[in-house]
């Protein structure tokens, strides 16, 4: 199927991965139109979209994917061709503390979007998922997750994303919805909210504060630069086979402790800043993605190694303190107070 001069709905586009996707694709495809729908919770903000706000092929609308009336009205008015759902509650720790909002956004919100896709007609719906749906692998094995693996998500976050994936596949099978799913490794890079490991550790190291590392720090993740992640999603949307799942892996397995030590070394800080803290509940030991399918079928390859990606990410965090100050502003703190009361 050929996708040219298309109108895209990008949900969650003011967040980390969605924002980077919009930065790249609005310029790469100037003849396509991109509408961003985002509810602007604590991890999504307009500062992320500032570099593209004046582009003629971009428009922002504030709204929640759980709002069925708003979503249907938007579909009716805008007549989208492609829908890519980046919108999600995504922090594991928050899902352990308060699962409800994860279930509402990550499952109910997805069903609202797909019902609108069915009603108003789209060429493709794409669900941005995660490697966490697969559960964990042994630290002592060389196994990797493949698309045919069963899903065994450990946290409420992973369970909610697993449920969404199953729902997408059900809509494809039952209603004939043209849909694809991507499951990617842990993603890092510019504009990532500083609750996640890499930006959090960069900020704390720069301030000379203690860097909290869960448990023994030996938990392993496969790290993927956000630009590689976004380019893979674009390939899947435009060239991927209908009804298929595609894994996106960075070929960059590192333990959490190795990541933290890399950041400290790059910033000229001492390992004495590392502080081992009580481990996260149900903390998976290892994730590792096999991206053979997307590499063979679509010709995708990651451009970043971990060394090049982490160096660029550290530099971005140093050079963009204004953005970081904004996300840590009083408005963010007020939102957090409301969130804790839910």
Which residues carry out catalysis? 131-132, 157
CB 266 within 8 A of CB 314: yes
Place of tokens 């919805």: 177
Place of tokens 């890092």: 188
Q: Tell me the C-alpha to C-alpha distance, in Å, between residue 31 and each of 4, 12, 57, 216.
A: 8, 22, 7, 50
Which backbone phi and psi does 321 adopt, to 5 degrees?
-65, -30
- Helix runs in the chain, H state only: 16-28, 46-49, 68-78, 92-97, 100-103, 109-120, 156-175, 197-207, 226-239, 256-266, 292-298, 306-319, 321-327, 330-340
Phi/psi class of residue 139: alpha, beta or left (left: φ > 0; alpha: ψ in -120 to 50)? alpha
CB 18 within 8 A of CB 36: yes
Alpha-carbon distance 317 to 234, whole Å? 26
Alpha-carbon distance 120 to 31, whole Å? 22
Place of tokens 């849909």: 179
With vertex at residue 301, the alpha carbon angle to CA 146 and CA 240, rounded to the nearest 5 degrees, is 65
Alpha-carbon distance 197 to 191, whole Å? 13
CB 48 within 8 A of CB 22: no
Pairing status of strand 220-225 against strand 253-255: antiparallel
Alpha-carbon distance 237 to 82, whole Å? 8
């Amino acid at each position: 199927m050929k996708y040219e001069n298309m109108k895209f709905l990008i949900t969650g586009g003011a967040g980390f991965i969605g924002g980077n996707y919009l930065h790249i694709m609005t310029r790469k495809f100037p003849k396509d139109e991109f509408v961003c729908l985002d509810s602007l919770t604590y991890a999504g903000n307009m500062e992320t979209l500032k570099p593209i706000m004046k582009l003629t092929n971009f428009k922002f609308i504030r709204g929640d994917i759980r709002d069925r009336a708003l979503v249907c009205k938007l579909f009716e008015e805008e007549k989208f061709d492609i829908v890519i759902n980046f919108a999600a509650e995504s922090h594991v720790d928050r899902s352990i503390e308060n699962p409800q909002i994860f279930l509402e956004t990550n499952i109910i919100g997805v069903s609202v979007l797909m019902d609108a896709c069915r009603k108003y007609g789209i060429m493709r719906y794409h669900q941005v998922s995660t490697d966490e749906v697969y559960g964990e692998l042994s630290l002592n094995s060389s196994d990797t997750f493949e698309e045919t693996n069963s899903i065994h998500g450990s946290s409420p976050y992973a369970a909610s994303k697993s449920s969404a994936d199953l729902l997408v596949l059900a809509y494809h099978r039952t209603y004939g919805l043209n849909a694809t799913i991507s499951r990617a490794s842990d993603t890092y890079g510019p504009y990532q909210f500083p609750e996640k490991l890499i930006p959090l550790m960069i900020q704390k190291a720069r301030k000379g504060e203690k860097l909290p590392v869960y448990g023994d720090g030996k938990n392993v993740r496969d790290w993927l630069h956000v630009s590689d992640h976004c380019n893979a999603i674009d390939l899947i949307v435009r060239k991927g086979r209908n009804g298929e799942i595609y894994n996106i892996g960075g070929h960059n397995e590192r333990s959490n402790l190795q990541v933290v030590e890399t950041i400290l070394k790059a910033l000229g800080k001492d390992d004495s800043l590392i502080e081992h803290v009580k481990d996260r509940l149900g903390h998976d030991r290892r994730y590792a993605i096999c991206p053979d399918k997307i590499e063979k079928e679509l010709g995708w390859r990651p451009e970043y190694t971990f060394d090049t990606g982490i160096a660029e990410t550290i530099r971005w965090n140093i050079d963009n303190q204004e953005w970081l100050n904004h996300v840590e502003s009083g408005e963010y703190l007020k939102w957090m107070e409301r969130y804790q009361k839910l």
